[in-house]
Amino acid sequence: MTTILIVEDEARLGDILEEYLRRDGFVTERAMTGPRALELWRAARPALMLLDLMLPGMDGLEVARRVRAQSALPIIMLTARDEEVDRLVGLGIGADDYVVKPYSPREVVARVKAVLRRTGGEVGVPTLQHAGPLSVDTAAFEVRLNGEALDVTVAEVRLMAALARAPGVVRSRAELLSALGGLERGTDERAVDAHVKNLRRKLGDHTELLDTVRGVGYRLRPEG
């Protein structure tokens, strides 16, 4: 069961999204204001948030900022104009995708699935993955080493999740960059190297778990 939180103050638009998502097997939660969105995000543990930009009370930008300060939750922003997307990308709020109104609900569902696939929250994939002494929980946004939670960033959780889904398998920098979703602006694969470097530091005596495959990318070596 994958829960999608729909944050949209226009009831009719929310109804349509809800109908299409449910038809595709998703569970939905609805919020019509920013504060309610934050409340449901904490309580319902959604796998993804569809977030309208213009909301009464607290706008979508502020909701995204507050969520992003604490979690890697995939966010798709719903905006009214094309120009807004450039502005939002420029602000670096870290949404994973942007959909401009008027949209086709089918297209929104396709984007939801694509973002979930990319970020590891796809339907049917367990959120908790183990690789040797490591465990990565994409729902709780936690990386644990021998049971101890590491102090990791959103990008680091996503990288580890992409690697832990298939321990031993080499992931290219391009694949890992894509797993970061909208967290990184641009397409510079060196961003991946920087995150890996930080992760290694956090792994302490277990840096060997994160293996560099020269000229290709990275993999987890759960056996050390």
For residue 100, the minimal CB distance to Ca ion (Å) is 13
Q: Of these, 18, 52, 96, 137, which contacts Ca ion (CB under 5 A)?
A: 52
- Tell the smallest beta-carbon distance from residue 47 to Ca ion (Å): 22
Which part of the chain contacts Ca ion (CB under 5 A), choosing from 8-16, 85-93, 96-104, 129-137? 8-16
Nearer to Ca ion, 52 or 137 (CB): 52
Q: Tell me the window of 1-9, 42-50, 99-107, 129-137 that interacts with Ca ion (CB under 5 A).
A: 1-9
Task: For the CB of residue 55, give the shortest distance to Ca ion in the complex, in Å.
Answer: 6
Task: Point out which span in 6-14, 27-35, 42-50, 93-101 binds Ca ion (CB under 5 A).
Answer: 6-14
Three-state SS for the chain is: CCEEEEECCCHHHHHHHHHHHHHCCCEEEEECCHHHHHHHHHHHCCCEEEEECCCCCCCHHHHHHHHHCCCCCCEEEEECCHHHHHHHHHHCCCCCEEEECCCCHHHHHHHHHHHHHHHCCCCCCCCEEEECCEEEECCCCEEEECCEECCCCHHHHHHHHHHHCCCCCCEEHHHHHHHCHHHCCCCCCHHHHHHHHHHHHHCHHHHHHEEEECCCEEEECCCC
Report whether 4 contacts 46 (CB < 8 A).
yes
Nearer to Ca ion by Cβ, of 24 and 84: the residue is 84
Q: Which pairing describes strands 3-7 and 27-31: parallel, antiparallel, or unpaired?
A: parallel
> Which of residues 16, 27, 32, 54 is near Ca ion by CB under 5 A?
54
CB of 30 to Ca ion, least distance (A): 13
- For Ca ion, the binding residues in 90-129 under the rule CB under 5 A are none
Site string for Ca ion, 175-194 (x = CB under 5 A): --------------------
Instruction: Check residue 9 for interaction with Ca ion (CB under 5 A).
Output: yes
Residue with the CB atom nearest Ca ion in the bound state: 54
Judged by the rule CB under 5 A, the positions of this chain that interact with Ca ion are: 9, 52, 54
